Chain A
Amino acid sequence: GAVVSQHPSWVICKSGTSVKIECRSLDFQATTMFWYRQFPKQSLMLMATSNEGSKATYEQGVEKDKFLINHASLTLSTLTVTSAHPEDSSFYICSATNRGLNTEAFFGQGTRLTVV
């Protein structure tokens, strides 16, 4: 299957700082990327959907000013957690698809964020 690379795989940051997570599609053009967060022993909660070149669509309850998503090219999307707090500690996973070509979404390896 197609490859999606997510970086970093884990990060520890101090409260109040910002953290950027990258999601790259390595062998296909990702017209659409999904960002999820997963708390321990819970399911994946869709945070936002981003389409290349346009603003992300956020799910209800997700603060767009806190979780900044940029999808500037067909191979890269970034999620920036701004002014991170301990409650933002979670496992963040991206997935990517080309809606016109793919019939499934391909997942990155995930990023374990710990805010201290």
Chain B
Amino acid sequence: ELKVEQNPLFLSMQEGKNYTIYCNYSTTSDRLYWYRQDPGKSLESLFVLLSNGAVKQEGRLMASLDTKARLSTLHITAAVHDLSATYFCAVASYNFNKFYFGSGTKLNVKP
């Protein structure tokens, strides 16, 4: 079974600071996804990473993928309060018949 580990589980940070969320997974995959979830809502797609070395940036968020290390990171630059949410990584199996989520990171950015 494909396992996805995400850390930290909780992250409280001040506005303006930088931080990184880590996502490790257990088997070979080159499909890694990052999502944002606000309370009571479904998922908002942030990034789709499909190859080793892929790096994508959107505003204050940047995601990268190292398939050899089975590691993806979500880096937050100069955090603002509006980024407060829960962030999930997810990994698809090779033939896309499984799609598993990490535990999630609840981010609280203090004004």
Contact at B98–A104, with CB atoms within 8 Å?
A: no
Chain B residue numbers with a CB within 8 Å of A110 are 41-42
What total of A-B pairs shows CB separation below 8 Å? 56
Closest chain B residue to A97, Cβ basis: B96
- The docked-state distance in angstroms from the alpha carbon of A51 to that of B97 is 9
**What is the total number of residues of chain A having a CB less than 8 Å from a CB of chain B?**
28
Known: A93-B43, A103-B31, A107-B43. A43 touches B103 (CB 8 A): yes
**What is the total number of residues of chain B having a CB less than 8 Å from a CB of chain A?**
24
Chain A residue numbers with a CB within 8 Å of B42 are 6, 93, 107-110
Q: Shortest Cβ distance from A109 into chain B, in angstroms?
A: 5
Chain A residue numbers with a CB within 8 Å of B104 are 42-43
New contact pairs (5) apart from A103-B48, A104-B31, A109-B42, CB-CB < 8 Å: A36-B101, A46-B99, A57-B97, A104-B33, A107-B35
Q: Which residues of A contact B (CB under 8 A)?
A: 1, 6, 32, 34, 36, 41-46, 49, 51, 57, 60, 93, 95, 97, 99, 103-110, 112
